[in-house]
Amino acid sequence: MRIGVDIDGVLADSLSLWIRELNRFFKKNKRIEEIRLFDICRTYEVTPNELSGFLACRGSYLMSQPEPIAGASHYLGKIKKHHDIYIVTARDERYGQETREWLDKFSLPYDELLLLGSHEKKEACLSRNLSVLVEDTLEIGVKVSAAGVPVLLMDAPYNQGVLPGQIYRAHSWVDVYRTIIVEPHLLNLPRSAGAAVDI
C-alpha cells in the first residue's frame, strides 16, 4: 500500500513551537486550545502580509526545530518495511532543504516528499493513489476522505468533535501502526502479507 503522512502535528510536534513564536512575534498570549494552524490569520487576527512577514523571519526555524512526536520514527520505520511512505505536507518548496534535513535527522523514512505549499491535499492523495492519509487537520481530512481516501486523524486539541465517515481518530503512533499493520480492516484496507504484529 501507499501511505500518506503529514509532517506538522503528525511527525513533528510543531504546535508548541509555533505558538511560542507566533505569540512572541505578534505580542499575543494564545493558548494551545485556541490555535488553528490551518487558519493562523484568523486565530491571530493578522493579515496574510503580516503572516508572510512572520514566516520570512521565523519560517526556516519553525521547519527545522520541532521535536518529533513520540514514537513517530520507530513506528514509521516499522510501517516502511511493508508499505511505501509519501510525506504529504502543506510546507512550501522554499523549506525543502530544512524539511529533508529534519526528516533525515530524526530517521523518518519516506519514498517521496510532496511539498505542496497549500492545504489542498486531495489531488496529491489521488494522483499518488494513496491508500490512507495520516493527518491532523480535520478540514483537510474531510476533503480527502470525501474523495475516497481513508484518513487517520492524529488527535489534537484543534480537531475534536464527531468525525465523518472514513475518518478515524488515532491518539498516538502506536494507534497508527496498529491500524495500518495489525487492523487494516478497520479502514477497509488489505492486511500486509507477512507483516509483523508486534507493538
Instruction: Single out the residue of 154, 180, 150 nearest to residue 164, CA to CA.
Output: 150
SS3 call for 126: helix
Residue 114, beta-bridge partner list? 88
Cα 113 to chain centroid, rounded: 12
Tens-digit pLDDT profile for residues 131-186: 999 999 999 999 999 999 999 999 998 888 889 889 999 999 999 999 999 887 77
Residue appearing with cell numbers 497508527: 176
If you average pLDDT over every residue of the chain, what do you get? 91
pLDDT of residue 192: 58
How far, in Å, CA of 84 to CA of 46, rounded?
A: 39
d(CA 9, CA 119): 13
C-alpha cell at 135: 493527518
